[in-house]
Amino acid sequence: MDMLESEEESDDEEADEVIDTFHPDELNDADDEEEEEGEDEEDDELAAALVMSHTHWIYGTFISFNGLLIAESQSETARLSLPEATLVASIAQAGRVLGCLLSAQLTDRLGVLRVIQLGTPINLLGWPLMALTGGMTTMVAGSILLGVFVGLNAFGGRLYIAEAKLLFTDWSVARPCLLLLMQYVFDVFCGGLVLAQYAPGIFQSVVASLSAAQCSQLLAALQVCGLICSATLLRWWGRRIVLMTAGALGCTGMLIVAAFYYFEDSLSEYSWLVLLGVVLANAASSGGVSPISHVICGELLPLSIRPLFGNVLSLYLGGMSLTFLNIFPLLRSALGSHGLFAALAGQASLQ
Per-residue model confidence (pLDDT) at position 3: 46
For residue range 243-252, list pLDDT tens digits in order. 888 888 888 8
* DSSP state string for 306-323: HHHHHHHHHHHHHHHHHH
List of residues 6+ apart from 41 with CB closer than 8 A: none
Rounded mean pLDDT, 9-36: 49
For residue range 215-237, list pLDDT tens digits in order. 777 777 777 777 777 777 877 88
- Long-range contact set of residues 4-9: C-beta below 8 Å, sequence gap at least 24: none
Per-residue model confidence (pLDDT) at position 74: 74
- Give CA 229 to chain center in angstroms: 21
Rounded mean pLDDT, 35-45: 54
Domains for the chain: give ranges and CATH numbers: 162-351 (1.20.1250.20)
Q: Regarding predicted confidence, which is higher, 21 or 73?
A: 73
**One-letter amino acid identity for 248?**
A
- Give CA 65 to chain center in angstroms: 15
Rounded mean pLDDT, 5-22: 48
Rounded mean pLDDT, 184-196: 71
> Whole-angstrom distance between the N-terminal and C-terminal Cα of the chain?
97
Q: Regarding predicted confidence, which is higher, 255 or 177?
A: 255
Per-residue model confidence (pLDDT) at position 315: 77
pLDDT above 60 (res 13)? no
Per-residue model confidence (pLDDT) at position 227: 75
* DSSP state string for 93-150: HHHHHHHHHHHHHHHHHH-HHHHHHHHHHHHHHHHHHHHS---HHHHHHHHHHHHHHH
Rounded mean pLDDT, 92-96: 84
**One-letter amino acid identity for 324?**
F
Rounded mean pLDDT, 161-184: 70
pLDDT above 60 (res 19)? no
Alpha carbon dihedral 148, 154, 156, 157, in 10-degree steps, equals 170
Q: Are 277 and 339 in contact (CB under 8 A)?
A: no
The helix/strand count (H/E) of the chain reads as: 14, 0
User: What's the pLDDT band for 294 if we cut at 50, 70, 90?
Assistant: confident
C-alpha–C-alpha distance, residues 318 and 281, integer Å: 21
C-alpha–C-alpha distance, residues 178 and 289, integer Å: 15
Per-residue model confidence (pLDDT) at position 44: 56
C-alpha–C-alpha distance, residues 249 and 28, integer Å: 67
- Give CA 271 to chain center in angstroms: 32
**One-letter amino acid identity for 316?**
Y
Per-residue model confidence (pLDDT) at position 155: 58
pLDDT above 80 (res 91)? yes
3-class DSSP assignment, residue 235: helix
pLDDT above 70 (res 29)? no
C-alpha–C-alpha distance, residues 16 and 20, integer Å: 6
**One-letter amino acid identity for 158?**
R
Per-residue model confidence (pLDDT) at position 245: 83
C-alpha–C-alpha distance, residues 173 and 89, integer Å: 34
pTM: 0.70
List of residues 6+ apart from 146 with CB closer than 8 A: 58, 62, 92, 95, 122, 123, 126, 127, 130
Per-residue model confidence (pLDDT) at position 137: 86
pLDDT above 80 (res 42)? no
